[in-house]
Amino acid sequence: MPADHRFSSVLNAAQRGWKNRASDEALLSLALPLNGIDPLGALPTLDPTSAFRVLMDSAPGLCLSASGCCQQLELAGPRRFELTQRFADLTLSRLQDMAPQAPAQARPRVLLRFHFFDQVGEHHRSSDQTPAVEAVLPRWQLSRQGGQGWLRLNGSVSHEAEARILAEQLWLQHQALEQAVLQPRIGQANAPQLLGSPDHESWQERYASALERGLELVDSGELHKLVLAVRQSMDLDAPYDPLPLLQRLRRQQADSCRFLWQRSSGDAFFGASPERLLSLRGGWLRSDALAGTAGQGDDGQQLLRSDKDRREHELVVETITEQLQRHGLQPHRRSQPQLARHGHLTHLHTPITAAMGNTPVLTLAEQLHPTPAVAGLPRREAMAWLRTLEPFDRGSYAAPIGWIDSSGDAELRVAIRCGHARGCQLDLTAGAGLVRGSEAERERQEVGLKLAVLADQLNLTSGSRQGPQSPLHR
Residues carrying an active site annotation: 225, 275
SS3 content of the chain, % helix, strand, coil (to 5): 30, 30, 35
- What amino acid occupies position 1? M
Q: Which residues contact 443 (CB under 8 A, 6 or more apart)?
A: 211, 215, 432, 434
Closest CA to 473 of 167, 204, 253: 253
Closest CA to 196 of 472, 471, 473, 468: 468
Residue 343 DSSP one-character state: T
Pairing of strands 63-75, 133-145: antiparallel
Q: How far apart are CA 264 and CA 243, in angstroms?
A: 15
Contact assessment for residue 25 and residue 236, using Cβ atoms and an 8 Å cutoff: no
- For 51-95, give the secondary structure using H, E and C: CCEEEEECCCCCEEEEEEEEEEEEECCCCHHHHHHHHHHHHHHHC
Alpha-carbon distance values, 89 to 70, 93, 98, 157, 361 (Å): 15, 6, 18, 20, 11
Quote the radius of gyration of the chain (alpha carbons, Å): 23
3-state secondary structure of 179: coil
Residue 224 DSSP one-character state: S
* Rounded (5°) CA angle 269-150-184: 60
| Bridge partner residues of 153 (DSSP) | 30, 140
